[in-house]
Amino acid sequence: MNISDVPESLLESYTGRYELMPNFILTITKQGKRLFAQATGQPKIEALPESQTKFFSKEINGTIEFVKDENGKIKELILIQGRTIHARKL
């Protein structure tokens, strides 16, 4: 899937801070039409789309899936990188 296939408004809704663990935050940012993830103390990596809600990174060999609540707002992300971590949006 190409990043241009994901609406910019959807990418924008994914931006924010997500708590992986206490004091360990994953920050999602958007630069142009590209999405980036950066964990506390780690380098920023690009997240490439697999679908409109699921992204992957070759650098970390992992995937990030964004989850909406019943009102359509992003409530958490699921990081799969050897194990599965649910991170609520702050």
> What is the pairing mode between strands 84-89 and 62-68?
unpaired
Task: Domain count for the chain, please give it.
Answer: 1
**Which amino acid does the sequence have at 29?**
T
Asked if residues 27 and 43 have their Cβ atoms less than 8 Å apart, the reply is: no
Asked if residues 33 and 3 have their Cβ atoms less than 8 Å apart, the reply is: yes
- pTM given for the model: 0.92
Q: Which domain holds residue 25?
A: 3-89
* For residue 83, pLDDT beyond 80: yes
pLDDT at 54: 96
Nearest to 79 by CA among 22, 36, 20: 20
Task: Name the pLDDT band for 3 (thresholds 50, 70, 90).
Answer: low
CA distance 40 to 22: 11
Asked if residues 67 and 76 have their Cβ atoms less than 8 Å apart, the reply is: yes
pLDDT at 60: 86
**Could you tell me the CATH number of the domain that includes residue 13?**
2.40.128.50
pLDDT per residue over 15-72, tens digit each? 999 999 999 999 999 999 899 999 999 999 999 999 999 999 988 899 999 999 999 9
